[in-house]
Amino acid sequence: MAKHTLDTYFVSSTTPNKKARKAANDSIQELADTDNNSPPRAVIGTTNHPTYPWPIPHLPVHVVSEIELLVTAQGREIRDQPHLDLVYFQPFIPRSIERDVFNFLRAELFFYRVKYTIKRFGKETLVNTPRFTTVFGIDETSRFVDGDDNDGSRSRIVEASDPSKPVRRDKYKCRPRPIPECLDLLRRVTEANTNTQYNFCLVNYYASGSDSISFHSDDERFLGPEPAIASFTLGAKRDFLMKHKPPRDGEPKLETKDIKLPLASGDMILMRGPTQSNWLHSIPKRKGGEANRGRINITLRRAMVG
């Protein structure tokens, strides 16, 4: 994933200033004006938290009943190249509900376009990432529990997993957001299917074929060695490209082939073992075909260290 999305999530910082809050609100409005034409639905229940701009509804009953059956979903292992360990589900989320899940998440989740500055030749340049993002979860050194928030209201608050090591007030740059039930159900089912624990959820929204993400690996330090990452596609079909990293100094060049997987709505790719340390992946821009349709990418991972 892009380093500027998560690298600063688990580091200390001060309270965001008014300019930062305004930029986030503008980003929500920018997305709200794109393609959200979903009809209203009856709300069965909601997840709420002070960090949410609005309560997030639970998934519709017919979707929940099908997702709960996914603990038996079968994937195809891809391990035919050096350092490659994938499991490819076609699909994981059934075709009968994938469109409903996409429309629901597109309508009910909040997204931000990440903006950051870089310095080139001594001059700062503002960069707008070519996709929208939202983040939920917390690293394993902390957990969410029911308690009293700063204003005295009942909420999900953060406490240390180890009572002997209390959470520092400046530990997180952004106040962690608990995973809402509509995504947590998918997390629980994926844990049962992959025999892996996840506590962190990153959701990217690609509004059209012009949105993309360049070659990168999800090898941030806080994910620990050989992380397992479950990546779901909903909405438009997009190519998922992979290529082996160049050899380090003194290492021999390996015989590998680039990979292209046409991820369709409902598909899931599980990347595990040495994959992140040795392979790069990307979603390139797209013209024609489904380029005018949006795509949601949900990635589940386990954050080890805060």
281 is in an annotated binding site: yes
116 is in an annotated binding site: no
Q: Provide the 3-class DSSP secondary structure of residue 117.
A: strand
83 is in an annotated binding site: no
List of residues 6+ apart from 194 with CB closer than 8 A: 87, 228, 230, 270
301 is in an annotated binding site: yes
176: nearest Cα among 232, 210, 135: 135
List of residues 6+ apart from 295 with CB closer than 8 A: 205, 206, 211, 233, 234, 235, 236, 238
Q: What is the DSSP string of 57-99?
A: EPPPHHHHHHHTTGGG---EEE--STT--EEEES-SS-TTTHH
199 is in an annotated binding site: no
295 is in an annotated binding site: yes
Burial of 99: CB neighbours in 10 Å, binned 0-12, 13-18, 19+: middle
Both tokens of residue 83?
């350092």
Both tokens of residue 224?
């620990």
- For 234, the enclosing helix (H) or strand (E) is strand 229-235
Distance (Å, whole) CA 249 – CA 236: 40
49 is in an annotated binding site: no
Distance (Å, whole) CA 273 – CA 277: 9
36 is in an annotated binding site: no
Distance (Å, whole) CA 130 – CA 132: 7
Q: Which residues are annotated as a binding site for substrate?
A: 219
Q: Which residues are annotated as a binding site for 2-oxoglutarate?
A: 204, 206, 216, 281, 295, 299, 301
Q: Which residues are annotated as a binding site?
A: 204, 206, 216, 219, 281, 295, 299, 301
